[in-house]
Amino acid sequence: MTDQPRILHRLRLQVRWGDMDALGHVNNAEYLRYFEQSRVEWLAGLGYRTDGEGAGPILAKATVTYLKPVVYPNEVEVRLWCARLGRTSFTLGSDIVNGRDATERFTEGEFVTVWVDYAAAKSVPVPARLRQALGEAA
């Protein structure tokens, strides 16, 4: 990253032995779980439900770039920031770095999230309070 984004959330995780695959590094699917856990904890911390009731987020697109393998034992930190803010959607940038040395980046991703009315199955505007948390100028 050339510009330092405003970090919205940080999540530290211990890499579990079972996160690894036969090649001896964290399985690609586990990175998606790490990113997901960070997004869910961030939204829950803001008071938003993630249970499919009312209105809330759906993940529309995930783009992940694997930079360097993570191996056990390790501690990682998942960092989350707003990369783009639209009327009914936003893009969260995220990366996974070494929990002891954030200059060592393992993975980066972008996650397009659409705010939807679950019952109507249609997009609705991102709530004002969430827009504020994301940073209107993002």
Question: Tokens 């393998």 label which residue?
Answer: 69
Q: What is the pLDDT of residue 52?
A: 87
Q: Residues 44-58: what's their mean pLDDT?
A: 92
Question: In percent, how much of the chain has pLDDT > 70?
Answer: 96
Is the distance from CB of 98 to CB of 74 less than 8 angstroms?
yes
Q: What is the pLDDT of residue 107?
A: 97
Domains observed in the chain: 9-134 (3.10.129.10)
pLDDT at residue 137 greater than cutoff 80: no
Beta bridge partners of 75: 14
Q: Residues 17-21: what's their mean pLDDT?
A: 94
Mean of the per-residue pLDDT values for the chain?
A: 94
Question: In percent, how much of the chain has pLDDT > 90?
Answer: 90
- Identity at 51, one-letter amino acid code: D
Q: What is the pLDDT of residues 111-132, one digit of tens each?
A: 999 999 999 999 999 999 999 9
List C-alpha distances in Å: 5 to 1, 15, 63, 94, 117: 9, 25, 18, 10, 29
